[in-house]
Chains A and B, each alone.
Chain A
Amino acid sequence: ETGVTQTPRHLVMGMTNKKSLKCEQHLGHNAMYWYKQSAKKPLELMFVYNFKEQTENNSVPSRFSPECPNSSHLFLHLHTLQPEDSALYLCASSQAGTGGGNTIYFGEGSWLTVV
């Protein structure tokens, strides 16, 4: 079993649909992240959760709604998305401690296509 598991791996949704991406980490970490990876663009940090509290939201549109019910699970709720939101969404986790330099571990990603 991999350390960070994402489901579904592939998702196709219409612009009026509501769907969710799920992430679970089995590493005992206390920080979780959502990143967006689009073609020809750098990885974009979307959200950061430390100990279930959202500590960062990088101006992400409200059509993306994260949820972190506990330190092992992270969701990304999607509604009324646009075609330009099609991308690979990567979940990651790390052990937040003092001093930084903590390795972030990634899941394999969820490929989202908005039609």
Chain B
Amino acid sequence: AQSVTQLGSHVSVSEGALVLLRCNYSSSVPPYLFWYVQYPNQGLQLLLKYTSAATLVKGINGFEAEFKKSETSFHLTKPSAHMSDAAEYFCAVSDRRDTGRRALTFGSGTRLQVQP
């Protein structure tokens, strides 16, 4: 079964600093990969997704992620953190070989704190 591992349940950065949230997947075949964000008391919102076109994927709010097959990684980055980026971020995967299954499998999440 597909799975993703998010390293670091909590990440704290200063406002203006680089944001790096890590996600590694386990699969011999590159899956579809997603990053979602959850603000307090809200549902999940899609930031970006990788479906095999460009390996560098740009998303909303200045975030981007790079698919690296050799490292089985899909890390999320943002050059300069803003206070409004404080939220929980989830990496998710779906198996491109299993076209009958639509659901995503989520990582355990990383809570991003932005210090002023």
Contacts of A76 in B (CB 8 A): none
Of the residues A48, A105, A106, contact of B102 by C-beta under 8 Å: A48
Report B100-113 CB contacts with A as 1/0, cut-off 8 Å: 11111111110000
A61, CB-defined interface residue at 8 Å: no
A108, CB-defined interface residue at 8 Å: yes
**Whose C-beta in chain B lies nearest to the C-beta of A95?**
B102
Q: How large is the interface on A (under 10, 10 to 19, 20 to 34, 35 or more residues)?
A: 20 to 34
Of the residues B32, B96, B108, contact of A42 by C-beta under 8 Å: B108
Known: A101-B94, A103-B49, A107-B43. A48 touches B103 (CB 8 A): yes
A100 touches B98 (CB 8 A): yes
B32 touches A100 (CB 8 A): yes
B99 touches A98 (CB 8 A): yes
B34, CB-defined interface residue at 8 Å: yes
A45, CB-defined interface residue at 8 Å: yes
A104, CB-defined interface residue at 8 Å: yes
A104 touches B104 (CB 8 A): yes
B99 touches A105 (CB 8 A): no
Closest CB in chain B relative to A36 CB, distance in Å:
11
User: Which residue among A45, A48, A100 has the maximum number of chain B CB atoms within 10 Å of its CB?
Assistant: A100
B51 touches A101 (CB 8 A): yes
**Whose C-beta in chain B lies nearest to the C-beta of A9?**
B41
B106 touches A42 (CB 8 A): yes
Known: A42-B108, A48-B103. A100 touches B95 (CB 8 A): yes
Closest CB in chain A relative to B107 CB, distance in Å:
6
Known: A100-B101, A106-B43, A109-B43. 11 other contacts (CB 8 A): A4-B43, A41-B108, A43-B109, A56-B101, A92-B44, A96-B102, A100-B98, A100-B102, A101-B49, A103-B49, A108-B42
Measuring CB to CB, which residues of chain A are less than 8 angstroms from any residue of chain B? 4, 6, 31, 33, 41-43, 45, 48, 50, 55-56, 90, 92, 94, 96, 98-109
Measuring CB to CB, which residues of chain B are less than 8 angstroms from any residue of chain A? 32, 34, 36, 41-46, 49, 51, 90, 94-96, 98-109
- Which 10 A/B pairs are nearest by Cβ-Cβ distance? A106-B43, A101-B32, A43-B106, A101-B51, A106-B44, A42-B108, A108-B43, A96-B102, A31-B102, A45-B103
